[in-house]
Amino acid sequence: MFVRSCWKPRAEQELWSFIEAYPWGLLVNNGSSVNEETVGELTGPYATNLPLILDRSGSKPMLIGHLAEGNEHALALRSTRSQSLAIFEGPVSYVTASWYPGRDMPSTYYYTAVHCYGRVRIQDKAALQRSLEVLTERMESQYKDGWKIDEVPASEITRRLPYIMGFELEIERIEGKFKLGQDEPKRDAMAVGCRLAQSEDGSDRELARMVLDYNRDRSEA
């Protein structure tokens, strides 16, 4: 990912908080050669949209997820020896040049993203079941009367486990890009933040908060 120094998050903790706030990710893997006669012809790349839960309780941070066993991507994960890439996207907005006070800058996009690189380990079924419980608890906690996994018989969960492949991605490298107008004149970035703050869209307002926060203390240049 191309990241200018001014677009880097200010602290590593912001990257972890970002993943927790936006756990819907994109998992990407290279494919493998179809056969010996077609070396270099790949069956992939593979890309799957899925929730990825951050676990920092161990010695290294991990992303935990699962795929359907019938998904070809699951088979690729079982055999890959290369790194996987998990992509997370946060608030994003088109920025029209008409928002700039002088209207003298080209239109652009403001956006936020975090990339995680690491190798995958396949979970056994007991670990998979625990991770499904954690996923359910985290996702349902945002609802006042959220659903609990014990509201159905345990057999309704366990009978599905043979058809699901759980995995853990140990994060070996993480990078973030918060492109929020830091490379533009301060007055332009702040004007964009104020415009986004007026939006009825919650994602725009969150992006506005980040834009204003990242540019407020800059010099006027």
Mean pLDDT of 129-142: 94
- Mean pLDDT (whole number) for 143-172: 94
- Residue 163: what pLDDT? 96
Per-residue buried b or exposed e for 85-110, using 16+ beta carbons within 10 Å of the residue's own CB? bbbbebbebebeeebbeeeebeebeb
What pLDDT, in 10s, does the model give residues 74-103? Answer: 999 998 888 999 999 999 999 999 999 999
| CA end-to-end span of the chain | 27
Check whether 37 has a pLDDT greater than 60: no
Query: In the prediction, which pLDDT does 113 show?
Result: 98
Rounded Cα–Cα distance for residues 112 and 107 (Å): 17
- Inter-CA distances, 171 with 54, 56, 75, 119, 175, Å: 10, 10, 21, 7, 11
Q: Is the model's pLDDT at 31 over the cut of 90? A: no
Global confidence as pTM? 0.91
Domain spans in the chain, listed from the N-terminal domain onward: 5-182
Fold for 5-182, please state it: Pnp Oxidase; Chain A (2.30.110)
Q: What is the mean pLDDT of residues 64-79?
A: 94
For residue 36, pLDDT over 70 is answered with no
pLDDT of residue 146: 93
